[in-house]
């Protein structure tokens, strides 16, 4: 048990809440992108069974492992065929952004429920154990959806940030990017799992989650 506690990034006692929040986050992310792509007449994701709220469909093996052992991860990339779009680059960027912003919407919903729980005296309806469980889940629900929002904007494959750059890049640059993509997952793993590399590459981006958390928290504190 002690070995597992050291191996996994999160506290084992809070892991069920963490995993539930992660599953919900990657599911809404993948579903939103599949739904948006389908609305723009690309049936690719729908044909591959991605237009669903079944979490199992949206889980990515490497993304899940990194989440457990490195503290951040992602869901399975949604297949998009840009040949179906009248404006492939513009719509491609819009679809790529739809996923992260669905996580941001979840963050706002999470904060709303959290403040209602504390400020609306709803907490008196629950026993202390139930209240603590709800509080812990909402805390992780908010933090992990902020994390997914930030992580997916990192400009490395298979994340949405890379797809946005790919859509905006000239055709000759995109051809070179396609070659880089073959080895990108290995580069990503090196940057994520080797502490000195992580500290100067990925970590500064991940630190944005704390800035976003504080900004939204202050916004809700003013309202309530």
**How many structural domains does the chain have?**
1
- Which tokens go with 133? 């469980």
Per-residue pLDDT of the chain (224 residues; tens, 9 = 90+): 566 667 788 888 899 999 999 999 999 999 999 999 999 999 999 999 999 999 999 999 999 999 998 898 999 999 999 999 999 999 999 999 999 999 999 999 999 999 988 776 676 777 888 888 999 999 999 999 999 999 999 988 889 999 999 999 888 888 788 788 878 888 888 888 888 988 988 899 899 999 999 999 999 999 88
Contacts (Cβ under 8 Å, ≥6 apart) of 123: 117, 131
- Which tokens go with 21? 């929040």
- Which tokens go with 147? 């994390």
Query: Could you give the C-alpha distances from 187 to 45, 180, 191, 201, in angstroms and in order?
Result: 27, 10, 6, 11
- Please state the pTM of the whole predicted model: 0.93
Residue 67's pLDDT is: 94
d(CA 154, CA 91): 19
d(CA 206, CA 203): 5
- 61-70 vs 15-39: helix axis angle to the nearest 10? 140
Residue 80's domain comprises 2-223
Residue 3's pLDDT is: 60
**Which helix (DSSP H) or strand (DSSP E) does residue 5 occupy?**
helix 2-7
Residue 173's pLDDT is: 83
- Report the number of secondary-structure helices (H) and strands (E) in the chain: 12, 0
Judge contact between 217 and 111, C-beta under 8 A: yes
Comparing CA positions, the residue from 219, 83, 99 lying closest to residue 151 is: 99
Comparing CA positions, the residue from 221, 17, 51 lying closest to residue 133 is: 17
d(CA 209, CA 196): 20
Residue 189's pLDDT is: 83
Residue 194's pLDDT is: 87
């Amino acid at each position: 048990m002690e070995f597992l506690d050291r191996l996994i990034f999160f506290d084992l006692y809070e892991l069920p809440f963490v995993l539930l929040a992660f599953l919900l986050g990657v599911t809404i992310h993948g579903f939103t992108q599949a739904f948006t792509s389908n609305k723009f007449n690309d049936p690719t994701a729908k044909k591959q069974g991605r237009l669903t709220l079944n979490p199992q469909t949206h889980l990515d093996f490497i993304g899940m492992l990194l989440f457990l052992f490195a503290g951040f991860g992602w869901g399975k990339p949604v297949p998009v065929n840009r040949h179906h779009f009248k404006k492939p680059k513009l719509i491609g960027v819009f679809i790529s952004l739809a996923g992260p912003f669905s996580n941001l919407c979840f963050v706002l919903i999470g904060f709303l429920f959290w403040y209602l729980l504390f400020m609306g005296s709803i907490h008196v309806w629950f026993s202390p154990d139930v209240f603590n469980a709800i509080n812990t889940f909402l805390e992780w629900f908010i933090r992990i959806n902020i994390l997914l929002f930030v992580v997916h904007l990192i400009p490395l494959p298979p994340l949405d940030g890379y797809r946005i750059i790919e859509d905006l890049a000239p055709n000759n640059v995109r051809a070179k990017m396609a070659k880089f993509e073959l080895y990108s997952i290995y580069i990503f793993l090196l940057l994520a799992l080797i502490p000195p590399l992580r500290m100067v590459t990925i970590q500064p981006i991940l630190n944005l989650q704390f800035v976003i958390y504080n900004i939204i928290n202050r916004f809700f504190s003013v309202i309530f």
